[in-house]
Amino acid sequence: MIREAIVKLVHKENLTYEMAEGAMDEIMGGKADPIQISAFLTAMTMKGETIEEITACANGMRKHGIHMEHDKDVLEIVGTGGDKSNSFNISTTASLVISAGGVAVAKHGNRAASSKSGAADCLEALGVKIDLEPEKNKEVLEKLGICFLFAQKYHMSMKYVAPVRKMLGIRTIFNILGPLTNPAAATMQVMGVYEEALVRPMAEVLSNLGVKRGMVVYGQDCLDEISLSAPTSVCEIKDGTFGEYVITPEEFGMTRCTKEELVGGTPQENAEITKEILAGKKGPARDAVVLNAAAALHVAKEIPMQDAVKLAEELIDSGKAQKKLEEFVSLTNKLAEKE
């Protein structure tokens, strides 16, 4: 299947759903050699991926991943990365606020790729045990309403692709597949993308993959999250319908900052920023977390964005988000000792 797919892609022809899923099935199943994987990824990048191809590849990748069974309506908040902003771990910090608001969060992430600190690095620096087995993560989700799904633990077939991606050194479809392959199959999602052209297409892909309510966002100063330093383009998903609009920090009483004010550093430095925000420190970093957490609360609770911003602020100021982190650290460490 992958050989036929490469021929079509080289001639700038779109793949059918079946052909794209079949090619990904061969890649993730270890049946394609590195040269074929390289040709497939490069040719698809040069042609440009269609909504159908991305959906098919995501499903092909999901088939080879480990699924975490659960009985909750879960939300994912994640960015594609690749925006070169080196911001601190905004969505990771926001996930603690969201969970404190009673929304179950299954955060899927990895170690850093394009920055110094990925979600896994930051949570580890905060004291969370990041590599629990699926059964233990299910227990954490049920008890706390939050869990972390370490990509390396759930998508072990990526070992066939990782060396090729590293050698290629270009953006490929895998830059956007990570946020589309949550092992808990989230039905609600806030997803940041690294370029504006992806906003509407990725919303359609998420809907195809079973997301009922969600937002795809692009900070117009090249951020893969809601920006505090520029307008943000949004495509909102509501049960198969899509609404596109633009939001600004000023609409929610926020003062714009520069991108530099949100720059992070090492995992330890980013963990310190997270702790300061949850302890009540005011400033641009807190506002960025509030805005992004509010988007998820708006999606999950179906409340106006203005109300969601107030709720996010209350969850921080009341200490509930800080308590959620403490419980998360405590329970994951306790369960890790039993493994």
Within a domain: 159:
no
247 with 234: CB under 8 angstroms? yes
State yes or no: 117 annotated in a binding site.
Answer: no
119 is in an annotated binding site: yes
294 is in an annotated binding site: no
Residue type, 136: K
Q: What CA–CA distance (Å, rounded) separates 177 from 198?
A: 13
Residues in a beta bridge with 150: 109
Q: Is 38 a known ligand-binding residue?
A: no
- Concatenate the DSSP letters of all residues of 36-71 into one string: HHHHHHHHHHHH---HHHHHHHHHHHHHTSPP----
Could you tell me if 9 and 137 lie in one domain? no
120 marked among binding-site residues: no
269 annotated as a binding-site residue? no
Q: Is the pLDDT of residue 114 over 70?
A: no
* 171, pLDDT greater than 60: yes
Same domain (yes/no): 322, 286: yes
Residue 31: CATH number of its domain = 1.20.970.10
For residues 135 and 258, membership in a common domain is answered with: yes
User: Burial letters for 105-119: b for 16+ Cβ neighbours within 10 Å, e otherwise?
Assistant: bbbbbbbbebbbbbb
**pLDDT greater than 80 at residue 34:** yes
Q: What does residue 106 show for φ and ψ, rounded to 5 degrees?
A: -110, 95
Confidence of residue 86 (pLDDT cuts 50, 70, 90): confident
> 93 among the known binding-site residues?
no
Residue 112 is labelled as binding a ligand: yes
- Is 107 annotated to bind ligand? yes
What tens digit of pLDDT does each residue of 243-271 get?
A: 999 999 999 999 999 999 999 999 999 99
How many Cα atoms within 13 Å fall on the side-chain side of residue 188? 19
Q: Which residues contact 238 (CB under 8 A, 6 or more apart)?
A: 212, 213
Q: Amino acid letter at 22?
A: G
Q: Is 114 annotated as a binding residue?
A: yes
Domain of 137, in residue numbers:
75-154+179-327
Q: Are 263 and 269 in contact (CB under 8 A)?
A: no
The DSSP secondary structure of 251-303, one letter per residue, reads: GGTPPP--GGGGB--SHHHHHHHHHHHHTT--SHHHHHHHHHHHHHHHHHHT-
Does the annotation list 92 as a binding residue?
yes
Give the model's pLDDT for residue 170: 85
pLDDT tier at 30, thresholds 50, 70, 90 = very high
Task: Note whether residue 31 is domain-resident.
Answer: yes
Same domain for 193 and 120: yes
Q: Are residues 80 and 15 in the same domain?
A: no
The answer to whether the annotation marks 110 as part of a ligand binding site is yes
Q: Is 207 annotated as a binding residue?
A: no
Within a domain: residue 284? Answer: yes
204 in the same domain as 149:
yes
Do the domain assignments include residue 232?
Answer: yes
Contacts of 30 (CB under 8 A, 6+ apart): 157, 160
221 is annotated as contributing to ligand binding: no
In this structure, the answer to whether residues 79 and 59 fall within a common structural domain is no
Q: What is the CATH number of the domain that holds 287?
A: 3.40.1030.10
225 is in an annotated binding site: yes
| Lowest pLDDT segment from 40-49, 82-91, 104-113, 151-160 | 82-91
